[in-house]
């Protein structure tokens, strides 16, 4: 069992309710932590096969950011300028069919290359994911 390593890494989202629905209902993650303190909400989800890692869904704003910084972060996310995210799957085409059927916005249909298959999608906020089939 792993006791050291990256536990949480997060993405900025424009709306946590929307992001929660997206990652749980459409991508297939589950909620790990959802706690509030006043207006602040700590929300993380995780892949069902990966209990040691949580993906944080965070909204730019107080107390971490002033209004101008929050606006800049929202703009950067909406422009798709945040770093790439990679979701590994056993079968890229099957995952594509399932997620596409659930209304996920795909930016690239599955393509065979480099000995594997990859596709691309975005979350509602603009975060970009590569969906890559694990090499066997």
Q: Which residues bind another protein (CB under 8 A)?
A: 14, 68, 71-72, 74-75, 77-80, 84, 86, 105, 107-109, 113-114, 118, 120, 122, 124-126, 128, 130, 132
Neighbouring C-beta atoms of residue 120, cutoff 10 Å: 18
DSSP assignment of 42-73: EEEEE-TT-TT-EEEEE-S-TTTS-HHHHHHH
Residue 106 beta carbon to another protein: minimum distance, rounded to whole angstroms:
9
Residue 89 beta carbon to another protein: minimum distance, rounded to whole angstroms:
14
Token pair for residue 77?
């996310």
Residue 13 beta carbon to another protein: minimum distance, rounded to whole angstroms:
11
Instruction: Please identify which residue in the block is written with the tokens 């659930």.
Output: 102
Nearer CB in complex with another protein: 8/76:
76
Nearer CB in complex with another protein: 15/34:
15
Residue 53 beta carbon to another protein: minimum distance, rounded to whole angstroms:
18
Nearer CB in complex with another protein: 6/86:
86
CA–CA gap between residue 83 and residue 124 (Å, rounded): 16
Pairing state between β 116-122 and 128-133: antiparallel
């Amino acid at each position: 069992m792993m006791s050291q390593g990256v536990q949480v890494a997060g993405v900025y989202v424009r709306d946590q309710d929307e992001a929660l629905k997206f990652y749980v209902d459409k991508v297939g993650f589950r909620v790990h932590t959802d706690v509030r303190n006043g207006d602040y909400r700590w929300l993380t989800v995780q892949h069902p096969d990966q209990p040691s890692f949580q993906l944080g869904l965070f909204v730019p704003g107080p107390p971490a950011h002033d209004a101008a910084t929050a606006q800049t972060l929202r703009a950067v996310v909406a422009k798709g300028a945040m770093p790439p995210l990679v979701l590994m799957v056993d079968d890229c085409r099957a995952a594509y069919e399932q997620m596409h059927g659930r209304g996920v916005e795909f930016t690239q249909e599955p393509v065979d290359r480099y000995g594997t298959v990859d596709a691309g999608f975005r979350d509602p906020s603009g975060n970009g994911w590569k969906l890559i089939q694990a090499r066997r």
